[in-house]
Amino acid sequence: MTVLEVRGVRKRFGDHDVLQGVDLELDAHEVVVLIGASGSGKSTLLRTINLLERVDDGQILLGGDDITDPGVDADRVRARIGVVFQHFNLFPHLRIIDNVTLAARRVHGMPKDTAHARGLELLGSLGLGAKALDYPDRLSGGQQQRVAIVRAIMTDPELLLLDEITSALDPQLIGEVLDLVRQLKSTGSTILMATHEMSFAREVADRVVFMQGGRIVESGPPEQLFDAPVEPATAEFLARVRHH
């Protein structure tokens, strides 16, 4: 089953063509990782899928529905997608359990008791049960980012978009976030993520997509893309990031 279909998507900011005709499909339970230099359009692509940016041309289908149709209710589309960005934006004045359940209750109308029980269960299964009643400032960055992921999966979204979820973290905290993504993969989530962590992309991706200048240059299974890239631009990019 196809969860996401991006067809010929174009996006321009001023006179800058940031997405120049992107085609991408994700099947159910697939984990696809976007790589590419800063400015190549990874975040913009994720933002068009979450309808934070309107496409200038092309279409995006979620579960077969054209979500780029002008008549679509953006909030209802966003309610079907779980999103985690680089800067975990937990509400500082709310306890962890309330951070996790707020959107499920307000946006999805999940009853308070149901949301509370599900939140505690998820936090518990992800090693955060003891933190449920704490405020965010009592948690490490890695723990906060895991809470943001729990919040995003509270309502079993059809698709999870993860944008550089480890890039604001100290190296020693990255591992616990990556473990959680592995766990989500093993439970069958459909995930599209952007990352600069090549080792993680290799480990977790079913397919890696290399973007440059708003285009998909090459995509394939991690072994192929990392070890035997077909396009010279992919090889050049990989050589550059490996020297860092």
Least distance CB 215 / ligand ATP (angstroms): 12
In terms of Cα–Cα distance, which of 42, 143, 151, 134 is closest to 93? Answer: 134
Give the bridge partners for 144, in sequence order. Answer: none
CA 41/CA 48 separation, integer angstroms? 11
Beta strands in 36-167 (DSSP E): 57-62, 65-66, 81-84, 159-163
Least distance CB 172 / Mg ion (angstroms): 23
Least distance CB 128 / Mg ion (angstroms): 26
Q: Of 119 and 214, which has the nearer Cβ to ligand ATP?
A: 214
Q: Of 6 and 115, which has the nearer Cβ to ligand ATP?
A: 6
Binding letters toward Mg ion, positions 40-79, x by CB under 5 A = --xx------------------------------------
Strand 31-35 to 215-220 pairing:
unpaired
Through-space distance between the first and last CA atoms of the chain, rounded to whole angstroms: 39
CA 102/CA 187 separation, integer angstroms? 24
Binding residue for ligand ATP, selected from 18, 77, 178, 192, defined by CB under 6 A = 18
Q: Which two tokens stand for residue 81?
A: 């997608």
Least distance CB 38 / Mg ion (angstroms): 7
Contacting range for Mg ion; rule: CB under 5 A; set: 15-23, 29-37, 38-46, 75-83: 38-46
Q: Of 30 and 53, which has the nearer Cβ to ligand ATP?
A: 53
Question: How many residues form the binding site for ligand ATP (CB under 6 A)?
Answer: 11
Question: What residue 41 binds from ligand ATP, Mg ion, none (CB within 5 to 8 A, per partner kind)?
Answer: ligand ATP
Least distance CB 167 / ligand ATP (angstroms): 8
**Binding to ligand ATP in span 147-206, by CB under 6 A:** 164
Beta strands in the chain (DSSP E): 2-13, 16-27, 31-35, 57-62, 65-66, 81-84, 159-163, 191-194, 207-212, 215-220
Binding flag, residue 48, ligand ATP (CB under 6 A)? no
**Binding to ligand ATP in span 26-45, by CB under 6 A:** 36, 38-44
Q: Are 41 and 214 contacting, i.e. CB atoms less than 8 angstroms apart?
A: yes
**Hey, how many other C-beta atoms are within 10 angstroms of the C-beta on 199?**
10
Which residues of this protein are in contact with Mg ion, per CB under 5 A?
42-43
Which residues of this protein are in contact with ligand ATP, per CB under 6 A?
13, 18, 36, 38-44, 164
